[in-house]
Amino acid sequence: MSTRPASGHALPSRSSRFALAAVLLAAMACQEPPPPPGPRDVTITGSDYAFQLPDSLQAGPTVFHFNNAGKVPHEMAMALLKPGVTLEQVMARVKAGASPDSLLDGIVGILIAIPGVPVVGGLSVELLPGRTYAMYCNFQDSPDKPPHSALGMVSSRTIAAAP
């Protein structure tokens, strides 16, 4: 029985076909997996005196950007609330003149925006599923005025699991 096809060229032996397959499989196994997707960008807009942000946020790496559409300087401070704590509980403590620190797992970061001036940086956060983050502005228009948070410049979001 001949191992030559009609073209007259010899077929590779069974062992060389296996060797070639092994080399191809090894080469495929050495390929780097695709990198994970980069962080999501979320823009929050501050005005006099509210935040505009998405209705929902998903867990995972996120970079927050802050724009000021108002007429006075604003900050977007972000805090991670302790499990089960609500923004209403935090604000009630603040309104009573007490520190909300015992209701927080910590301050995540702060972005400051001057009206009409683009913010250059962002706040990089690993959002945790099922956790609630509060955003607030504690700036005052003058020393005798209330903080912007007391005027309604507060918001919170409970983070949805990543898809």
Q: What is the pLDDT of residues 5-64, one digit of tens each?
A: 555 666 666 666 666 666 666 666 666 766 667 899 999 999 999 999 999 999 999 999
How far is residue 126's CA from residue 78's CA, in Å, rounded to a whole number?
12
Exposure string of 149-161, with b = 16+ CB inside 10 Å and e = fewer, is bbeebbbbbebee
Indicate the pTM of the whole model: 0.76
- Residue 23 falls inside a structural domain: no
Among positive and negative, which fits the CA dihedral 101, 104, 108, 109?
A: negative
Q: Which amino acid is at 93?
A: R
**What does the DSSP assignment read for 81-111?**
EPTT--HHHHHHHHHTT---GGGEEEEEEEE
Specify the DSSP element, H or E, that contains 40.
strand 40-47
The tens digit of pLDDT for each residue in 79-94 reads 999 999 999 999 999 9
Domain that holds residue 146: 41-158
Number of structural domains found in the chain: 1
- Residue 33 falls inside a structural domain: no
- Residue 11 falls inside a structural domain: no
- Residue 26 falls inside a structural domain: no
Strands 60-68 and 154-158: unpaired
Q: What pLDDT does residue 130 have?
A: 96
**Domain CATH for 53:** 2.60.40.420
Q: Which amino acid is at 64?
A: F
Tell me the two tokens of residue 131.
């956790």
- Residue 149 falls inside a structural domain: yes
- Residue 32 falls inside a structural domain: no
**What does the DSSP assignment read for 68-88?**
E-SSS-EEEEEEEEPTT--HH
- Residue 129 falls inside a structural domain: yes
- Residue 80 falls inside a structural domain: yes
